[in-house]
Amino acid sequence: MTKINIPDNCPCCDSPLTRINDQLFCQNKSCPAQLFKRLEHFAKTLNIKGFGPKTIEKLNISSIEEIYFLDREDLVSALGSEKVADKLLEEIENSKTASLDKVLASFSIPLFGQTLARKLLSVISHVDEINEDTCSRAGLGPKVTANLIYWLETEYAEIGEFLPFSWSVQPVVANSVDRGTICITGKLHSFKTKDEAYQTLKSLGFNISESVTSKVTHLVDETDKMSSKRKRAEELGTTIIPNLKNFLESL
């Protein structure tokens, strides 16, 4: 049997490794390999388009919070294009309004993703309310709870105030008007994400359905590729919406 030697130091930056819940972690936030993957995951989770591996290499930033302090002139110089720089700045600005479940999921907390974040937000209204009790009530296990609390006491405590997020759950404004039930098929062009569209629809009094049934009053289809949902909607005589934003503006 081959003996496995457990490393004491990070193979990339040589910093001492820390054992957390039977896993080894490099705690050096300046570790090039760790930082690169964290930045990549952060941007991908918050849908910051244009902030991929090549851009990360060109910008040479050393922490997540630096994303929100990028200077246009420096961006133009690093990326070689005013158009690309302005588009990236726009994407970064848009990310500031991301829902809290996405924000929490963007920090590469081990074992903790957006699904668990949504469960957690069902029992808390602000990040400061995260503790063993609220995590337990949300159904989170002991390992992910420990990872989450560790992140809260370290990274969040250090950089939370420098990031543009509210860190609180944004309540959906109640609307007494029942405008019907909407289903979305395919990719949206009028909204950045389906989550954003869903939040807007709910605030305006629409119900959301993942499938087309007789109760669905509207189907949003901005790609017009005759999906199975589109075919079913036409069979039922459901109203088809080719552009959701235009439809909502007409209400």
Confidence of residue 249 (pLDDT cuts 50, 70, 90): confident
Q: Among the listed ranges 37-51, 83-97, 136-150, 203-217, which one has the minimum average pLDDT value?
A: 203-217
**190-212 confidence digits (pLDDT tens):** 988 887 888 888 888 888 888 88
Return the higher-pLDDT residue of 75 and 3: 75
Mean predicted confidence (pLDDT) in 112-133: 93
Residue 206, phi then psi, degrees to nearest 5:
-90, 145
Element (H, E) at 65: none
Q: What average pLDDT does the structure give for the chain?
A: 89
Q: Among the listed ranges 54-58, 104-108, 136-140, 206-210, which one has the minimum average pLDDT value?
A: 206-210
Going from the C-alpha of 36 to that of each of 9, 41, 46, 83, the distances in angstroms are 18, 9, 16, 24
Paired strand residues for 180: 206
The SS3 call for residue 6 is coil
Mean predicted confidence (pLDDT) in 228-247: 93
Check whether 80 has a pLDDT greater than 90. Answer: yes
Check whether 133 has a pLDDT greater than 80. Answer: yes
Check whether 231 has a pLDDT greater than 70. Answer: yes
Do the bridges between strand 180-185 and strand 206-208 make them parallel or antiparallel, or are there none, so unpaired?
parallel
Q: What is the pLDDT of residue 172?
A: 52
Q: What is the pLDDT of residue 199?
A: 82
Q: What is the pLDDT of residue 171?
A: 63
| Residue 19: CB atoms within 10 Å | 9
Element (H, E) at 20: strand 17-20
Confidence of residue 177 (pLDDT cuts 50, 70, 90): low
Q: What is the pLDDT of residue 165?
A: 94
User: The whole model's pTM is what?
Assistant: 0.64
Mean predicted confidence (pLDDT) in 203-228: 88
Q: What is the pLDDT of residue 78?
A: 95
Percent of the chain with pLDDT over 90: 60
**161-173 confidence digits (pLDDT tens):** 999 999 998 765 5
Mean predicted confidence (pLDDT) in 58-80: 92
Angle at 38 between CA 155 and CA 23, to 5 degrees: 75
Confidence of residue 4 (pLDDT cuts 50, 70, 90): confident
